[in-house]
Amino acid sequence: MRERILETHKQLFDVGMSTIKGFRAHMSMKEGAEPIFHKARPVPYALRDRVQKEIERLVTEGILTKVESSDWASPIVVVPKTDGSLHICGDYKVSINRCLEQKSYPFPNVEDLFATLAGWYPFHETGFGTCISATGVG
């Protein structure tokens, strides 16, 4: 049965990256927000070729889109993973995050969560490995 489920829904368990189809996120900008162009941080020489290849791969897979110019820019942070691959993150706290309206979504406290779940027990546990997705923003 396990194999049948995995075969039927193999796209859910794929370790690669994909994009969310048919969805665009919406971000609200603060009144009077101006674009911020933050210069790039240096990438260690030992990682430069690998970073370039990873960026090219992300463009080829449609995760990133090449642009000729922009009023906005954020530096990247490169994190080597234990398997030898690279994780490339945008450091948006120095640019666009400063211009976004903050939405407040309060988290319930732990006591409320446990009270709500009292008497419940987990009946199934699923490991999804690495779940990474990208969505368009507009």
Model-level pTM?
0.62
- The residue among 84, 102, 72, 14 whose CA lies nearest residue 46 is 84
State the CB neighbour count (10 A cutoff) for residue 96.
Answer: 19
Residue 63 in any domain: the answer is: yes
Q: What is the pLDDT of residue 71?
A: 95
In a domain, 87, yes or no: yes
Asked, for residue 54, whether it belongs to a domain, the answer is yes
**Is residue 79 in some structural domain?**
yes
If one counts the domains in the chain, the total is: 1
Q: Is 47 part of any domain? A: yes
pLDDT band for 122, please (50, 70, 90 cuts): low
Buried b (16+ CB within 10 A) or exposed e, 1-29: eeeeeeeeeeeeeeeeeeeeeeeeeeeee
- Candidate from 9-13, 51-55, 76-80 with smallest mean pLDDT: 9-13
The pLDDT value recorded for residue 138 is 47
93: tokens are: 């706290």
Q: For residue 90, list its beta bridge partners.
A: 76
Measured between alpha carbons, how far is 136 from 41 in angstroms, rounded to an integer? Answer: 25
Q: Does residue 85 lie in a domain region?
A: yes
Q: What percent of the chain has pLDDT over 70?
A: 83
**Domain interval for residue 62:** 33-102+130-134
